[in-house]
Structure 1
Amino acid sequence: MTMEATPPSSPEPITFPCKSCGGPMHFDSEAQAMKCQYCGREEAIVSSDERPVEYDLELDAEADPKRKDWGIKQQAVKCENCGGVSLIPLLQTATLCAFCGSPKVLLQEDAADAIRPETMIPFQVSKSEAVNAFRAWKKKRWFVPNAFKKGQIDSALTGIYIPYWTFDSDTYSNYSAERGDYHYRNETRTRVVNGRRETYTERVRYTVWRHVSGDYGRSFDDVLIPASGQYDGELLQKLGNFRLEKLTGYLPEYLSGYVAEKYSVNRSEGWQRARNRMSSTLHNEIRQRIGGDEIRGLRVGTNYFNRTYKHILLPVWNANYKYRNKPYRYMVNGQTGLVSGLVPRSAVKITFFVLFCLAVAIPIIWWFMQNE
C-alpha cells in the first residue's frame, strides 16, 4: 500500500544509538565519524581492514549467504512514479522517493536478496558543500535564464550510495585489416580559360592498400559500470571518475543517515556493458597500432579470461527541483564535489546567439564565393 506521510515530530528510528543521550547517530562527512543528531557527540569509526575482493566471474559467488549480510536489517522501498528501489533500515519510514521526490512510495519486504557491497567510498562532501557547488555550477552555465542563474533554487538533497560493478579482465586479440597509405604524384591536365585551352600540372593523391594482421594483448582493471537504473548514464559519466584507490571496506555505519540504492543492473548485464567498453577500447588501440592514413575491413577476435568483478557503493547527492513548473535534476559527486545536471534554457539567448553566428558567417561565405 502507499505509505502515509510521517508527521515532522515523529522520531527518526535509532539505528546507532548515542551512548550519551540515546539519540540517533549518523555518519558525518565533515568529521568522518558518527555524530549524534541531538547532542552532537562524535564517535570515531574503526575502519574496516577488509581488502577489496575480486570475485571470479565464472563462479556463482552470489549464492553465498555471507554476501547478503549488510550488518543491519534492510527493507526495500519502491517508488510507483519512477520505479526506483532504495534500501533503508528495517522499521524506518520513507515518505518521499529518494530519486524523483514523489510521495508515492511502497514498502516492500526486507531486502534479503540484495548483495552486500564489499567496499565503498564514504561521503566526503557535506550537504551544504553540495548546495554551494551547485550554486557555483549553475552560474557558469550558458544559455540559461538570468533569473535562474541569480535566483535561489529550492531543492531537497538526498545522500544516496549508488551501486556500481567493477570488472577486470585479461584479453588476447587477433586482428586483420587493410591499411591505406596516401601517396602523391603530379599529373598533367588540360582546361579551358577564356576560350583558350591550356595545360597545367596538378598534385593528385592516391591510396596504396596492403593487408596487415597481428595479435594484441591487453589487461583491463576496474572498468566501472553503474548498476543503477534510475539515472541517465550520461549524467553519471559527467560526475567524473571516482578515485577508486580510496575504496574502503564496507561498514553499516557509513550508511546511517543515507540511502543505498538497490542495484537494478545485474552482474551479467553489467559484464556485457563492460565487455562492450573493453571492445571499443581494443578497436581504437589496434587502429592506432596499425597506423596508416585509412583502415578498412578491420576484424578483431578477442578472448576474455581471468575475469573478475566486485560490487561497490559510491556516494552521490541527488536533487530534484522545478523551474517554472518544469522538473529538473542535478547530482553532486559525494567524493569530489563535481556537479552534473539538467538546467532550463533561455530561448532568447539561444536565438541571439544563432543570429550572431549567422551575422559573422554570411559575410565570410560571401567573401569566399566572390574570390572563387
Structure 2
Amino acid sequence: MVTPPPLPESVQHSTAIGKHPCAECGANLEWSARKQALVCPYCGTTAPWQGAHAQTGDAIAELDLERALRDPAITRKNWGAELKEVKCQSCHAVSVFVDSRVAQRCDFCGSPAIVAHEDQGDAITPQSILPFKISDGQIRDLIKKWYRTRWFAPNRLKTAALTDTLHGIYLPYWTFDAHVDAHWRAEAGHYYYVTESYRDSSGHSQTRQVQKVRWVPASGRLRHFFDDELVPGSSGVHQQLLRAVEPFPTQTDLKPYSPEYVRGWTVERYQIGLADAAALGRRQMDSKLHTMCASQVPGDTYRNLQVHADYQGRTFKHILVPVWLVSYTYGRKTFQILANGYTGQIAGERPYSWVKIFLASLAALIVLGIVLYFMQ
C-alpha cells in the first residue's frame, strides 16, 4: 500500500504573501503573459519575478484525498490578498477578483446581472497554478484567423469586432492521482472460417467463406498509475469547449500558487466540489482502465469483460489554469470562443448562415446535374 505524503506546511497553516508595489508609481504589479514578468498596469514598469517558490523552495504537493474528504478544512488557506466575489444571476458563475476592481459584466456570458457573493469560508483554495503564457495580442490574431475559416458563419459575424469582449480568466481544475491494481476476466473471441455452399440468384451452386468465432475464457492483471487525471470545476465555460482546448501541461509546468499571478485577472471559484470531482475522476479512470484491460484480452474480439480494480494512494490538487474567453450574443443565443492561455489551442461556437448553406447546397446540386448530364 502506498502511503500518501503528509500535507505540506504551506497548506496546514495560513500564510500571507506580500504585495509587489511598482517602484515608480506605487500601484500593484500584475502578471503579464506577453512579458512573462510583473508589469505595472498604469505606468508600464516591468519587474522580473521568479515566483515565491523560487525563493522558498516550495514544491507542488499532492494532498491525501481520503483525508481531505473527511476534513476539508485542512486544505484551506488564505489567498494571500484581499478578495472580492461576485455571482452572475444568469449563468451562476462565481468570479473571484484579487486586489482589483470588480467587473461590471459577467466575463462568461456578458450579463450585467452580477451581485456580490459572500465567501462562505468553505472553499478549498488552490495549491498551484499554470500562469498565462499566450498574450491577448496573440490570441486576438488566432481568433481572427479562426473566424476567417468559418465558411458558413454569417458575414456580419466575421466583420464584427468580437475580440473586444476578450477576457483572461483562471479556471478551477482538480487533478487526481492513484495507483490501481486491476484483475480482469473476459471471453476472448478467435476468428476462424468455414466453407459454406449456397445457390446464387441464377440457381447455380456456389461456395463462400463464412467467419465464425470461437470463444474461450481469459483473465489477466494490470497495474497502472494515473497521474493528474483532470476534472474541470468550472460552470461558466461550456464543457465541450473546455475539453477541446485541453490538455494543460499540469505534470511539468505547474507553479505553486502565489497572488502575483492572479492579481488583475478574473478567477472563477469552483462550482464542482471535491467530492463530486473525485467521483467524476474515478469514473474517468474506470473508463480508461476498462480500455487498457480490453487491450490485454487475447484474440480478435472479446465480450463480457469484467474489471475489478483496487485504487490506492489517491491524492489530488486544486489548481488554476489559464484561458482566454470571448462571449457574445448573436440573435437570441449566447456563444463562446475559448483559447488555452498556455498553448493557444482554440475551440469555439458560432451561428450558421442558412442562406450560405442553401446556396452551397444549390450549387452542389447544379454541379451534380451537369456531371450526370454529360455522363449520359
Q: Which of residues 79, 83, 93 in structure 1 aligns to 2:88?
A: 79
| 2:70 is equivalent to residue 64 of structure 1 | no
Identity among equivalent pairs (%): 35
d(CA) in 2 for partners of 1:138, 1:165: 32
d(CA) in 1 for partners of 2:360, 2:225: 46
Partner residue in 1 for 2:305: 298
Q: Deviations over 1:86-106 (max 9, x none)?
A: 111368433211211211111
Maintained 8 Å contact 1:75/1:111: no
d(CA) in 1 for partners of 2:367, 2:311: 53
d(CA) in 1 for partners of 2:29, 2:100: 16
Query: How far apart are residue 240 of structure 1 and its match?
Result: 2.5
Maintained 8 Å contact 1:87/1:111: no
d(CA) in 2 for partners of 1:328, 1:93: 23
Q: Could you tell me the TM-score, scaled by structure 2's length?
A: 0.84
d(CA) in 1 for partners of 2:52, 2:360: 54
Partner residue in 2 for 1:104: 113
Q: Could you tell me the TM-score, scaled by structure 1's length?
A: 0.85
RMSD (CA atoms): 2.5
SS of the residue aligned with 1:68? Answer: coil
Between 101-110 and 323-332, the greater mean CA deviation after superposition: 323-332
Partner residue in 2 for 1:247: 254
Moved runs in structure 1, 4+ residues, more than 4 A?
352-364
Partner residue in 2 for 1:40: 44
| 2:289 is equivalent to residue 285 of structure 1 | no
Q: Deviations over 1:334-370 (max 9, x none)?
A: 1111111111112234345556777899999xxxxxx
d(CA) in 2 for partners of 1:354, 1:176: 51
Maintained 8 Å contact 1:118/1:312: yes
CA separation of 1:140/1:208 partners in 2, compared to 1, >3 Å: closer, same or farther?
same
Letter in 2 for 1:20: E
SS of the residue aligned with 1:138? Answer: helix
Maintained 8 Å contact 1:162/1:316: yes
Q: Where does the alignment leave 5 or more consecutive residues of structure 2 unmatched?
A: 1-18, 372-376
Query: How far apart are residue 146 of structure 1 and its match?
Result: 3.9
Q: Deviations over 1:67-90 (max 9, x none)?
A: 321101213211111111011136
CA separation of 1:39/1:192 partners in 2, compared to 1, >3 Å: closer, same or farther?
closer
Query: How far apart are residue 261 of structure 1 and its match?
Result: 0.7
- Equivalence map 1:187-198=2 (5 Å): 187-191=196-200, 193=202, 197-198=203-204
CA separation of 1:275/1:358 partners in 2, compared to 1, >3 Å: closer, same or farther?
farther
Q: Where does the alignment leave 5 or more consecutive residues of structure 1 unmatched?
A: 1-14, 365-372
CA separation of 1:305/1:344 partners in 2, compared to 1, >3 Å: closer, same or farther?
same
Q: Which of residues 240, 257, 269 in structure 2 aligns to 1:234?
A: 240
d(CA) in 1 for partners of 2:22, 2:263: 13
d(CA) in 2 for partners of 1:362, 1:203: 41
- Equivalence map 1:118-137=2 (5 Å): 118-137=127-146
